[in-house]
Structures are given as structure tokens and as C-alpha cells.
């Protein structure tokens, strides 16, 4: 992450955590997901052929098949169980919403506000990325290519894969603002990788393969978002993300503790074989309904867990070498905490446990956790630390309070219960 700016490039795609189009539905329904049939029975559509088939249209909303490139309207959400985070959240229009005690105007206001918060997360994330990109550009123009060797291209590549996985996750859910955040992560990380390739700090073959994957991923997600990508192609792309993510995650976790454990590619290799077997079994229809459902959620969860793991190496380094804490930037940690914190209200509002967990973890452990380390070792002032802590806790408290008001709950704990266990 750019979090440990000089130490690792993993943070260069700093954590940006977290409805479905006809293409994804047909793919899952035909080859993966019998569990979608129970969901589709709750959707009230009459021959609509719009690009997003897994949201319900409220009284004042409609979509036109004559314009496939129209942005999707934001839905209101029915709470689902935490492990169903990857599933679409249908709208509760009119009478349906009334059954859940939803005040239409209040929830629409909170809906719009949380979407703006998620969009605003682009600002701190962009500020996080730009300094390293500009520094790399200056070194390249000065012919100082060796300076770019300090940037870990493998870390950047890992973050790029996580960004692409989450971009696909949000494209499937039609979360426009979150898609933009992930797309920004893909673009800025790719720019940085391009700089490394120009400085010969990254093998050219890997850069070419990365360029193909990034181009394919961005185009596929764009076409799928507007419902014009064949389901077969989208299914192959999701299989690629699932296999890739499941292979990379154990390897990254293992590598964190080298040299205290033997350096080995065995964790990644074993995970790759397991993921390939699972993909083949899904395609062959050999998995149970629960197995198909579990497989369908892997890519989103592995991306989330990758981002959740990113603070661990920095905290591990802080533990082993406390002197390194002096090299951390309080502004970097504050921006990481703010960017992820701005995503929390939207994740809670949509009852997306995966998104909420990733954003909260990054805000708390990476941002605030590193600030704790810096405070304990006198790298930041007491006033700065306590002001930041108070602001963060107030933000979380206000988020749950406003969410419970929007949904008509008497207690913020009801919002937390719905997030974890569904309605």
C-alpha cells in the first residue's frame, strides 16, 4: 500500500472497499447459482429488458431499453444475511417498502447522501496516490531509474488484482460510486506499474500480460455494467478473478512472515490447484447449491481479504522494528482512514457486510491502528491523536444513528443486527 509509502507499493492501491446485470444473472443461473431462483421470485418485473435486471423500480423510476448506456438508478435495500453480501439487494418500492417500516423520503435522502460520501472517497485516495506517481515521473525524467527499484511491483500487482476484483463486484451490484473508486485505483496503480516498466524495474513480459488483463477487465466491467456483455465472457472473467484471487491471497499472507518461516510458493500453488478444480466442477455442474453459492462469493471475499491483509505487514514491521515508525506519515494514515471511512455509511446502508467489513477494517486497523503506534512512540502529538480518534468515533456513531433513522429503527443496534444477520 501507499500506506507505508517508501516501504511497500502495496498501499499504492490503498484499500477502497465496497446489483447484477442480466449477463451475470444468466451466467449464474445456468452454470452456477440455483440460489438465484429464490431471489428472482421476489422481483416484481414485467418483461423489462433493461441492463440491470436485479433491482426493482420504484414509483418514480423507470428504465428504457432504448438507451443501454443510461446510468442505473440507486435502489433501496432489503437487508440480507452477511454471507449473502455478493447477492443483489432488491428495491422495496411503494407498498413493499411500507411493510418494512421504511419512510420513503427519509431513506431517499440518506441513500443520496451515502452515495455522495462514497464518491467523495475518491479525493483522499487520489491525494494518497499522486505524490508517488509524481515522484516516479520526476525520477524518470531525470534518468534516475534506479530510484524506482525501491517500489515493489509485486505489491502493486497484488493491489491491482484486488481493485479489479472489487470493480467487478460493484459493477455486478450497479454501485456506481464505488465502481468509480475502484476504477481510480485500477488506473492509478496501472500508471505506477507503467512507470516501473519504463524504468525496467518490472519485467516487460509481466507488464504486457498485466496490460492485457487490465484492458480486458475495464472493458468487460463497462460492458457488463450496461448489460451488453455476453454472459459466457463475464463468467470466464469471474472465473479468472476467483482463481487469481484465491491463489494470491495465501501466498501474500505467507510471504509476510518470511524469513521467520521458510520462503515458499507452496501456499499459492496449492490454492491455485484447489481454485482450478472448483472452477471446473462448477462448470461441469458437480457442486451442490451451497457449493455454487460459496464459489460465486470467492472473488469478492478474496479481494476484500487482500485489502484487509495489507495493514498487517506494516503493523508487523512496526512490532519488529519500532524505529521504522518514525518513517510513517501521519497524513498518509489520516487520508487512508478518511477514504475508507467515507465508504462505511454506504456499505451499512446497502447492508453489504463484505464492503462494510473491508472499509471498517482499513479505517480502524490501517489508518487509526498505525496512528496508535505513532502516538505510543511519540511520532505525533497527543492533541492530534485524540482529535483524530474522537472524530473517527463520532463519524461511526453518526453513521449508525442516521441509518437507523432512515430505516425507521428505534435503535442503531438494529442496523448492526440487519448487517450481520439480515432482516
Q: What pLDDT is attached to residue 22?
A: 38
Please answer whether residues 407 and 101 qualify as being in contact, where contact means their C-beta atoms are separated by less than 8 angstroms. yes
Instruction: For residue 350, give the C-alpha cell.
Output: 446497502
Q: At residue 310, what are phi and psi to the nearest 5 degrees?
A: -55, -35
This model's pTM is above 0.75:
no
Q: What secondary structure letter does DSSP report for 390?
A: H
User: For the chain, first and last CA: distance in Å?
Assistant: 36
d(CA 11, CA 15): 7
Instruction: For residue 32, give the C-alpha cell.
Output: 452456477
Rg (CA), the chain: 22
Please answer whether residues 220 and 234 qualify as being in contact, where contact means their C-beta atoms are separated by less than 8 angstroms. yes
Q: What pLDDT is attached to residue 72?
A: 54
d(CA 231, CA 222): 14
Q: What pLDDT is attached to residue 111?
A: 92
Please answer whether residues 347 and 355 qualify as being in contact, where contact means their C-beta atoms are separated by less than 8 angstroms. yes
Q: At residue 422, what are phi and psi to the nearest 5 degrees?
A: 85, -175
d(CA 166, CA 147): 31
d(CA 366, CA 347): 18
Q: Classify the C-alpha dihedral 338-339-343-344 as positive or negative.
A: negative
Task: Give the DSSP H or E segment for 157.
Answer: helix 153-173
d(CA 218, CA 215): 5
d(CA 402, CA 423): 18
Please answer whether residues 134 and 12 qualify as being in contact, where contact means their C-beta atoms are separated by less than 8 angstroms. no
Give bridge partners of residue 98 from the DSSP assignment.
none
What string of pLDDT tens digits covers the 423 residues of the chain?
434 334 444 344 444 444 334 333 334 333 333 333 333 333 333 333 333 333 333 344 344 444 555 555 555 555 444 445 555 444 443 444 444 455 578 888 999 999 999 999 999 999 988 888 998 899 899 988 888 887 778 778 888 888 999 999 998 888 899 999 999 999 999 999 999 999 998 889 989 999 999 999 999 999 999 889 998 999 899 899 999 888 988 988 888 888 788 888 899 999 999 999 999 998 888 888 888 888 888 888 888 888 888 778 777 777 787 777 777 788 888 998 999 999 999 999 999 999 999 999 989 988 898 899 889 988 899 999 999 999 999 999 999 999 999 988 889 999 988 888 876
Count, residues in the chain: 423
Q: What pLDDT is attached to residue 276?
A: 94
d(CA 305, CA 249): 8
Amino acid at each position: 500500500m501507499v500506506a507505508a509509502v517508501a516501504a511497500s507499493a502495496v498501499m499504492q492501491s490503498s484499500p477502497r472497499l465496497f446489483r447484477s446485470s442480466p449477463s451475470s444473472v444468466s451466467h449464474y443461473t445456468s452454470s452456477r447459482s440455483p440460489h438465484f431462483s429464490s431471489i428472482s421470485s421476489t422481483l416484481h418485473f414485467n418483461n423489462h429488458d433493461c441492463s440491470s435486471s436485479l433491482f426493482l423500480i420504484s414509483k418514480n423510476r423507470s428504465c428504457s431499453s432504448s438507451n443501454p448506456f443510461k446510468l442505473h438508478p440507486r435502489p433501496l435495500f432489503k437487508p440480507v444475511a452477511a454471507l449473502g453480501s455478493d447477492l443483489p439487494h432488491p428495491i422495496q418500492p411503494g407498498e413493499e417498502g411500507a411493510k418494512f417500516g421504511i419512510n420513503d423520503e427519509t431513506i431517499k435522502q440518506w441513500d443520496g447522501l451515502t452515495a455522495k460520501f462514497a464518491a467523495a472517497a475518491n479525493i483522499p485516495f487520489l491525494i494518497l496516490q499522486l505524490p508517488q506517481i509524481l515522484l516516479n515521473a520526476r525520477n524518470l525524467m531525470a534518468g534516475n531509474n534506479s530510484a524506482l527499484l525501491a517500489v515493489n511491483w509485486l505489491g502493486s500487482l497484488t493491489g491491482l488484482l484486488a481493485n479489479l476484483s472489487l470493480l467487478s463486484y460493484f459493477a455486478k451490484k450497479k454501485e456506481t460510486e464505488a465502481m468509480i473508486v475502484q476504477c481510480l485505483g485500477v488506473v492509478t496503480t496501472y500508471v505506477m506499474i507503467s512507470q516501473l516498466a519504463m524504468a525496467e524495474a518490472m519485467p516487460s513480459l509481466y507488464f504486457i500480460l498485466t496490460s492485457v488483463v487490465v484492458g480486458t477487465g475495464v472493458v468487460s466491467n463497462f460492458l457488463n455494467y450496461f448489460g451488453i456483455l455476453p454472459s459466457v465472457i463475464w463468467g470466464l472473467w469471474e472465473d479468472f478473478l476467483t482463481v487469481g484471487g484465491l491463489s494470491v491471497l495465501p501466498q501474500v499472507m505467507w510471504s509476510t512472515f518470511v524469513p521467520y518461516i521458510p520462503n515458499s510458493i507452496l501456499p499459492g500453488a496449492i490454492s491455485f490447484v484447489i481454485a482450478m478444480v472448483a472452477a471446473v466442477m462448477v462448470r461441469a455442474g458437480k457442486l451442490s447449491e451451497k457449493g455454487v453459492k460459496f464459489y460465486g462469493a470467492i472473488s469478492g471475499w478474496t479481494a476484500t481479504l487482500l485489502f484487509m491483509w495489507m495493514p498487517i505487514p506494516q503493523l508487523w514491521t512496526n512490532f519488529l522494528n519500532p524505529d521504522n515508525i518514525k518513517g510513517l506519515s501521519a497524513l498518509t494514515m489520516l487520508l487512508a482512514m478518511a477514504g475508507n471511512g467515507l465508504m462505511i455509511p454506504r456499505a451499512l446502508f446497502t447492508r453489504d457486510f463484505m464492503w462494510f467489513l473491508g472499509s471498517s477494517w482499513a479505517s480502524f486497523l490501517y489508518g487509526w491502528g498505525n496512528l496508535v503506534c505513532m502516538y505510543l512512540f511519540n511520532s505525533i502529538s497527543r492533541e492530534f491523536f485524540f482529535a483524530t480518534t474522537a472524530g473517527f468515533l463520532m463519524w461511526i456513531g453518526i453513521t449508525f444513528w442516521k441509518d437507523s433513522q432512515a430505516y425507521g429503527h428505534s435503535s442503531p443496534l438494529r442496523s448492526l443486527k440487519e448487517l450481520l444477520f439480515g432482516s
